[in-house]
Amino acid sequence: MGSVTVDATGVLRVGVIGTGMIGEDHVRRLTSTLSGCRVSAVTDVDAERARAVADVAPGARVHDSGEDLVRDGEVDAVVVASWGATHEQYVLACLAAGKPVFCEKPLAPSAKECLRIVEAEAAIGRRMVQVGFMRRYDTAFAQLKRAVDAGTIGAPLLVHCAHRNASVPGHFVADMAITDSAVHEFDIVRWLLDDEIVAVRVLKPRANGHGRDVQDPLLILLETAGGVLIDVETSVNIQYGYDIRAEVVGESGTVELPQAGNVVVRQSGGVTALIAMDWRDRFRQAYDVELQAWVDAAAKGGATGPTSWDGYVATTISEAAVWSMGTGSRVPIKLEDRPVLYAVS
């Protein structure tokens, strides 16, 4: 670990780059929910939006650019929540400045950009980057992993996943069902199975009429080095809600996430369970735990949880899946050598 990066009062001063949907949510979380931190600076290409978000964080100043924010002496650590194409430049700036950084997924849109981050961090020789794969901090996913690790269902053989959104905004294009949505599944199944994805194939059924000209849904088939097969349905216009599913089929049983909600209501001749309408509802607790873990690690100069290497692997699988969506072919996943920093213990 490096030097402790908190201020004289023991509080980690966090700068947030990008105050859009999730950036704003993280500013609120860092200000009102988490402990040991405060937001000392924000920036966004939309300066008015940055100023509005800064209003919820007492004392936060607004910078003209991400680079200015990273240079700020009153910023100990940085959250990058801007558009994916800008992630690499800000994460590299943080590494050059010796500041721990939490980067929202995807680490970067291309494997080449991710690798440059991996190489820069590996050259420093210690963890400084955490990637925002928050599902690893979700209670239900953690229970799923504990059951698999305990051997409760024998060796895992198959995993069925679904990633369903009620609807998506107008700028959504077909690739984003892979690069924005399924990238979470690419990370979570590697983590869940302690196994590596070796090939991917994307199949396209009849298109959902709610999807304008976006091909939706997709069926993504993944193969692991250990021989497990995984199917991931992405449906981004399914209307009824935000629904994340995962079921692991083992040699002697199955284990799955609860279908929806925490309570079931029986009334008027029917049974209902409430379902989240978006990712903020469904993963609120996971975002809180994830970012608190980062704050605690960053206060000691480091990072924890999903690594730059995990970000690189997830983006590599996304790239292969996008290629498969275009060609219909099975695409093998080729990874560079894993630096010692990210060795699996």
The residue number whose beta carbon is nearest to ligand NAP equals 20
Residues 77-116 vs ligand NAP: string with x where CB under 6 A?
----xxxx-x-----------------xx-----------
**Amino acid letter for position 140:** A
Q: Whose CA is closest to 94, among 44, 65, 119, 129?
A: 129
Which residue, 301 or 306, has its beta carbon nearer to ligand NAP?
306
CA 237 to chain centre: 21
**Separation of alpha carbons 91 and 2, rounded Å:** 17
> Taking the complex as a whole, how short is the minimal distance between the CB of residue 21 and ligand NAP, in angstroms?
4
Sheet of 37-43, strand order? 61-63, 37-43, 12-17, 77-80, 101-103, 129-131
CB neighbours (10 Å) of residue 300? 16
> Taking the complex as a whole, how short is the minimal distance between the CB of residue 317 and ligand NAP, in angstroms?
16
> Taking the complex as a whole, how short is the minimal distance between the CB of residue 104 and ligand NAP, in angstroms?
3
Q: Which of residues 7-66 bind ligand NAP (CB under 6 A)?
A: 17-23, 43-46, 49, 66
Report helix, strand or coil for 219: strand
Q: In terms of C-beta density within 10 A (0-12 exposed, 13-18 middle, 19 or more buried), how is residue 269 classed?
A: exposed
Q: Whose CA is closest to 95, among 303, 291, 290, 294?
A: 303
Residues 266-295 vs ligand NAP: string with x where CB under 6 A?
-------------x----------------
> Taking the complex as a whole, how short is the minimal distance between the CB of residue 80 and ligand NAP, in angstroms?
8
> Taking the complex as a whole, how short is the minimal distance between the CB of residue 248 and ligand NAP, in angstroms?
22
Q: Which of residues 294-333 bind ligand NAP (CB under 6 A)?
A: none
> Taking the complex as a whole, how short is the minimal distance between the CB of residue 35 and ligand NAP, in angstroms?
21
| By the rule CB under 6 A, 185 interacts with ligand NAP | no
CB neighbours (10 Å) of residue 284? 16
What tokens does 169 get? 């905004």
Q: Which of residues 123-162 bind ligand NAP (CB under 6 A)?
A: 132, 134
Interface ranges with ligand NAP (CB under 6 A)? 17-23, 43-46, 49, 66, 81-84, 86, 104-105, 132, 134, 180, 279
